[in-house]
Each structure stands twice: as structure tokens, then as C-alpha cells.
């Protein structure tokens, strides 16, 4: 579809630095097409997540994955806020990222577990972009609903919920989301977050 190609161009990140194209093309749409994501692509995506860096190589991430129409997808969907349910209903795949709060080698608290799960999710998202897919992470969900629905052990925490699929037509979205779906993306300048001293920009 011409509108999809145009939207991908509009959403591509703009930078003067030589950043990898797959990073600049990664973005988080809300409009998803109903097209099925293949088993081979899902295998590739979660294999990419497996190779993210983690403290002590703990690999604290776990994923609950559902395809639209199956019980797992429905239970994840039911844990989302109504606002997120409004646009995820078309997503062919929903998944939850969870973190093991403790190290397996000694049982001590892993204070960077959430960081490492985030790294796995970012790696997965970049692999999705390389395959022509998109992801959209969500904080708007009820962790207790997920815990009760899936029998999640106490030493694991649900961190984020995700929609995955091919880009869809923004016109299918609830009206309140259409404008942001079509707008170009921006980022803070480096001096706003790369410091030499606190609040003092590192000179690049």
C-alpha cells in the first residue's frame, strides 16, 4: 500500500550521525494489519532477544506469547487498559515480557533484571524492524490480572506488554490516535542527556 510506504518514510528517524538504518526505521505504531506473523519469524525474533546482554549472563527474561484467536492472546488482551485494548484488538501477536527478580546462581536480588529485560525487548524490536514488522510496548496493563491469569510465580514480575505485527492503515485507529500516528518523530538533542558533569553537556 502506498500509504504504508509513505508512512514508513515519514516515521524514519533523522540524524546527522551515521546511525544504523534499522535503528532509525524502528518505531511504535498503533495501527496493525491482521496479516499473520510466521512461526519462522517469531523464532527469529525471540532468538534475537536471547542474545541480548545480561548481568552474569542470567538472561532473566521470560515471554508469554499469544496469537490472535488463542487463549493466551485473549488473556493478555484482557489485562490491558481499555485505552490500549482500543488499538491492540487488530494486532496478530501480543506478548508479555517478564523479569526474574533473583539471580539463579545464588538467589540474591538482581537489581538490573528490568534493565536486562529491556535490552532483550529492544533487540527483539530491532530484529522485527529488519523483518518488516513492528512492535509497540505498553505499560498500560494490570500486572495482577496477568499474574492470576497465568499463574506467574512470585519471583517473576510482568514488566511490559507488547503488540507485534505488520503496519496497518492509520485510518483504522480510534480518532484520538490518528494524528500522532501520522506525525514525524523527534528526539531530544544529545546535550539534554549526555553529560560530563550532572547537567553539563559532554562536548561532542
| pLDDT tens for each residue of the chain, 204 residues long | 688 999 999 999 999 999 999 999 999 999 999 999 999 999 999 999 999 999 999 999 999 999 999 999 999 999 999 999 999 999 999 999 999 999 999 999 999 999 999 999 999 999 999 999 999 999 999 999 999 999 999 999 999 999 999 999 999 999 999 999 999 999 999 999 999 999 999 999
- Residue in this structure with the C-alpha cell 505498553, named with its chain if needed: 138
Residues 36-51: b if buried by 16+ CB within 10 A, e if exposed:
ebeeebbebbbebbee
- Residue in this structure with the C-alpha cell 516515521, named with its chain if needed: 11
pLDDT given at position 2:
81
Q: How confident is the model over 8-54, as pLDDT tens digits? A: 999 999 999 999 999 999 999 999 999 999 999 999 999 999 999 99
**Cα 182 from Cα 7, distance rounded (Å):** 7
CB 182 within 8 A of CB 170: yes
Q: What is the DSSP letter of 16?
A: S
pLDDT given at position 1:
66
pLDDT given at position 123:
98
**Residue 112, phi then psi, degrees to nearest 5:** -110, 15
In order of start, what are the domains of the chain with their CATH numbers?
2-176 (3.40.109.10)
pLDDT given at position 157:
98
Q: What is the DSSP letter of 69?
A: T
Amino acid at each position: 500500500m502506498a500509504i504504508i510506504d509513505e508512512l514508513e518514510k515519514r516515521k524514519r528517524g533523522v540524524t546527522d550521525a551515521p546511525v544504523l538504518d534499522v535503528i532509525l526505521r524502528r518505531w511504535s505504531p498503533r495501527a496493525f494489519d491482521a496479516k499473520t506473523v510466521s512461526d519462522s519469524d517469531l523464532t527469529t525474533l525471540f532468538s534475537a532477544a536471547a542474545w541480548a546482554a545480561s548481568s552474569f549472563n542470567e538472561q532473566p527474561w521470560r515471554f508469554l506469547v499469544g496469537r490472535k484467536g488463542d487463549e493466551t492472546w485473549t488473556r493478555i488482551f484482557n489485562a490491558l487498559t481499555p485505552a490500549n485494548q482500543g488499538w491492540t484488538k487488530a494486532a496478530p501477536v501480543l506478548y508479555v515480557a517478564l523479569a526474574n527478580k533473583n539471580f539463579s546462581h545464588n538467589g540474591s536480588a538482581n537489581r538490573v533484571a528490568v534493565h536486562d529485560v529491556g535490552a532483550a525487548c529492544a533487540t527483539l524490536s530491532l530484529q522485527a524492524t529488519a523483518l518488516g514488522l513492528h512492535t509497540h510496548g505498553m505499560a498500560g496493563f494490570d500486572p495482577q490480572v496477568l499474574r492470576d491469569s497465568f499463574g506467574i510465580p512470585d519471583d517473576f514480575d510482568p514488566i511490559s506488554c507488547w503488540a507485534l505485527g505488520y503496519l496497518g492503515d492509520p485510518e483504522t485507529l480510534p480518532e484520538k490516535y490518528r494524528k500522532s500516528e501520522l506525525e514525524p518523530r523527534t528526539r531530544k538533542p544529545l546535550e539534554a542527556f549526555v553529560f560530563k558533569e550532572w547537567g553539563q553537556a559532554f562536548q561532542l
